[in-house]
Structure 1
Amino acid sequence: MTPTVHVIGAGLAGLAAAVRLTEAGRRVVVHEQAPQAGGRCRSFHDATLGRSIDNGSHMVLSGNRALLDYARRTGGGEALEEVRPAAFPFLDLRDGAAWTLRPGGLWLFDPARRVPGSRPLDYLAALRTLTAGKDHSVADLLPPDGRLFGPLWRPLAVSALNGPVERISARLFGAVLRETLLRGEAACRPVLAPRGLSAAFVDPALARLRAAGAAVHLGSRVDGLTFSGDRVTGLSAGGSAVALGPADGVIVAAPAWAAERLVPGLTAPPPGAAIVNLHVRLDGPVRLPGGLPFLGLVGGTAEWLFARDDLLSVTVSDADALAALPAEEAAATLWAEIAPHLGQDQRLGGPIRPFRLVKERRATPDQSPESVARRPGPRTRWRNLTLAGDWTETGLPATLEAAIRSGNRAAEAALSSGNNPIRRSGLFPAFTSFRHRPIWTDGGAVLARPGPEGQSKKRG
């Protein structure tokens, strides 16, 4: 009989693990406590706005190889578009100054592609994070009096690691730079999901799993695991006991606090700061300064602004103070900061339009050096139990990329346990590169849809 692997959690880590297992020919059963899959990466219909919105906006880059490979293999790549060449428009909310960062090639020697007033040598300070010690914070290595700290390093670090620069790990921030800016323009291109996160990363994976015969149980809480010796021998899901066969396994891909409830003695990082997302429905499509569907913000409360047709989304990381406010007050605070900068012709003055404020109070694990040291690897002392999640040790901040990598590694660990070694030469192919065909241009940038090697499709 084909071994069965039970995956607890249908966030991106659990979905990635389940997809890998079905590709390897395993029977898979997914248990998700929530009524929908996707975890913190999903879309939902909001009745107030009359629109489908993402529970949180995520900046995906072309250097996120595991995430894009997952999207390609599940069929979600058709719902992604890439900005080409890489471009990142920024706006200083204090004085209205605007610029566009255009990394790649000899960009450091072109003042028009750098932060205004910066010098090439200023950027070399970030190299310190590549050799950061395990106890270093970002502020330890990139001091606040640096020329680029306010307009670049601080907003990037806070949004990537969801915490104050005085606390978050410099080593993790160095990993972000190593996999994006330091790999050149081809690794820095923003990748957008104009139809929403679920259309790119959740719905195609669910369809692929079901087509492969996997069972996906939504609204099914796993209450506990049964252990005997060095194995998990059963689980309780939805009030029913499930016995595991001698070759069956379990992957716990739940959030850290849920995993600690299920796995005895597990040490995991505590929750980090809240992330707040404000979604506003405008009277019509909005054009952001810089001409792209996203905008980095400096000198205010938020870090990023996203536009999708008539929907404007604002993202605030390290947002415990903002999350403590009533929704109306928090929304008014953000609206007052951004509305004056969106152009007189767009008539965005006055009271805020219909909005939805989403507060994610446990959006990520804490990513201080002390908490990073608490991250477990995929294997446990039970030979048929592995762990997945952006809170496990991946060498990256808690991002979509980290979640996918953790799911892949948990699947590999599950398949290599017992008498089922992985054949790395064929089971898990190397990351596939993408070629792109332009489908939309604006402001000198191109939006292209990532597709399998040698393929691309125009939007009809």
Structure 2
Amino acid sequence: MDIIIVGAGLTGLTAAIRLAEGGARVRILEMAPLAGGRTRSFLEPTLNTWVDHGPHLLIGAYEATNKLLNDVHAAEYVHWQSALNLPLWEKDRGFFSLSTSQRLPFPLALMLATYRLPSHGISSVLSMLGIAKDLQFGKSAANAETVSQWVERLHLAPMLYQDFIEPLCLGAMNELPESANAASFKAVLDAAFANHQTARLGWFTRPLQQALIEPLCNKASLLGVEIITHCRVTHIQTEAGRHGKLITSSGELRCDTIVLAVPPNIRDQITGQTQATKPVPHRPITNIHMWFKEKFQLPAPIMGALATYGQWFFDVSQQHQNQYDYTHICAIISADNEQHDKAWKLNAVIGELRQMTGMKELTPFHHRMITVKAATHQVNPADKIEFEACMVDACEQPLPGEFPATIEAAVMRGEAASKQLLTIS
């Protein structure tokens, strides 16, 4: 079986490894100079160091991701909490966290952790119980129901919405609750809050290029996968529906099967589907990397910020075990539709960091702002495209109730594509 995968992101690399393990001949075509897609890093010239386009947070429920990391010997580059500890900051309440005790069964530990949050109490505990009841016994959310509508239906406490639902929705869905799909959000909650193991958080201890992409590429190469970069696919044709032909910037290529592992708009362009399909809605993410001469640490390697422009603050220096002579902080803004200019955005997160740390003169000596306009594609009830038998669609287009656009979803799409082809063969 001769297979060409279009796209060397996480989905494409996962599919390539699994297909090659199954005995297929695999080539990956990638138009960028490096593999990695949205999990790639870039070499920051000022500091001569690898920097992620955007840091990624893991949760223990990411079973497919954890298995893949173990298979490619990259698990050593992930640090896991022993139990759930979600650090938060709010201007009036300062630092606090949703922390569960392993000495208690997880449901009881979560209720106690909720009760102990400042400005919460029994109303938030009752709301958390309502969520648990709905996840286990409630009716399935309608395809079009939003997280906000779900929250209203369950009559959740306002403080739990502010401190728990909204931050998790932005982090997991890259959407505000007003537009995020409730069925998919419930799927994330159901998986993540099953037990202590699944609820804990994890992060990479090296830049993604070293911690994730290189181990994946090395594993693929050992299996005989050929990764061809700087190769743009301009058009795809099928021959009698049984073989694929790709027109690329490097020439014409043929194969038995094509796996599409690119953004949906690219898929539609190269397959000629642009007139037959509606564009898949997407959301941007802005990542603001800041480097400071002052050596300091946030109270935790990752902080969720409430009622701020910067929603998540990653202490990259702390995550990477303080191997630098400076402090590297990355502020993340999910679903960033803010119309202000870059100077306003930078000053906003610097001001929030000053409030967090109490360091009133804190100013970065260097920064890099990256806005990915189509960072994630929204959960969308639209019908999926039916392709010829020699083409497999592994593009990001989550349906209601499916995992949203996360690392786990990307790995799962790669696994599903490879399983489909190996089962057929």
Superposition TM-score tier, normalisation by shorter sequence: 0.7 to 0.9
Q: CA deviation at 1:280?
A: 0.8
Q: 1:198 to 1:155 in 2, by over 3 A?
A: same
Q: How does 1:112-261 map to 2 (within 5 A)?
A: 114-116=116-118, 117-119=120-122, 120-127=125-132, 128=134, 131-143=140-152, 146-181=158-193, 183-244=194-255, 248-261=256-269
Give distance in 1, aligned partners of 2:147 and 2:313: 24
Task: Assess if the C-alpha contact under 8 Å between 2:350 and 2:362 holds in 1.
Answer: no
Q: How does 1:432-447 map to 2 (within 5 A)?
A: none
Give distance in 2, aligned partners of 1:233 and 1:141: 44
Q: Partner residue of 2:321?
A: none
Q: Partner residue of 1:34?
A: 32
Q: 1:268 to 1:404 in 2, by over 3 A?
A: farther
- Unaligned segments of structure 1, at least 5 residues: 421-460
Q: 1:233 to 1:112 in 2, by over 3 A?
A: closer
Give distance in 1, aligned partners of 2:163 and 2:45: 37
TM-score, normalisation: structure 1: 0.81
Query: Structure 1 residue 106 and structure 2 residue 108: aligned?
Result: yes
* 1:257 aligned partner, one-letter code: N
* 1:287 aligned partner, one-letter code: Q
Q: Deviations over 1:289-331 (max 9, x none)?
A: 2xx211111111122111122211111101021xx44323211
Give distance in 2, aligned partners of 1:392 and 1:229: 30
Q: Deviations over 1:381-415 (max 9, x none)?
A: 31121011332558101111000000110111122
* 1:135 aligned partner, one-letter code: A
Give distance in 1, aligned partners of 2:360 and 2:17: 44
Q: Deviations over 1:227-248 (max 9, x none)?
A: 233234311122411123xxx2
Q: 1:41 to 1:375 in 2, by over 3 A?
A: farther
Higher alpha-carbon deviation: 259-268 or 154-163: 259-268
Q: Partner residue of 1:448?
A: none
Q: Which SS does the other structure have where 2:68 is aligned?
A: helix
Q: Which SS does the other structure have where 1:243 is aligned?
A: strand
Q: CA deviation at 1:268?
A: 6.4
Q: How does 1:52-63 map to 2 (within 5 A)?
A: 52-63=50-61
Higher alpha-carbon deviation: 276-285 or 48-57: 48-57
Query: Structure 1 residue 288 and structure 2 residue 298: aligned?
Result: yes
Q: 1:356 pairs with 363, 368, 371, which one? A: 368
Q: 1:32 to 1:352 in 2, by over 3 A?
A: same
Query: Structure 1 residue 396 and structure 2 residue 396: aligned?
Result: no
Query: Structure 1 residue 334 and structure 2 residue 349: aligned?
Result: yes
Q: Partner residue of 1:314?
A: 331
TM-score, normalisation: structure 2: 0.88
RMSD over equivalenced CA pairs, Å: 2.1
Query: Structure 1 residue 410 and structure 2 residue 417: aligned?
Result: yes
Q: 1:159 to 1:134 in 2, by over 3 A?
A: same
Task: State, as a whole percentage, how many aligned pairs show the same letter.
Answer: 23
Q: 1:178 to 1:341 in 2, by over 3 A?
A: same
Which of the two has greater helix per residue? Answer: 2
* 1:303 aligned partner, one-letter code: Q
Higher alpha-carbon deviation: 230-239 or 74-83: 230-239
Query: Structure 1 residue 381 and structure 2 residue 378: aligned?
Result: no
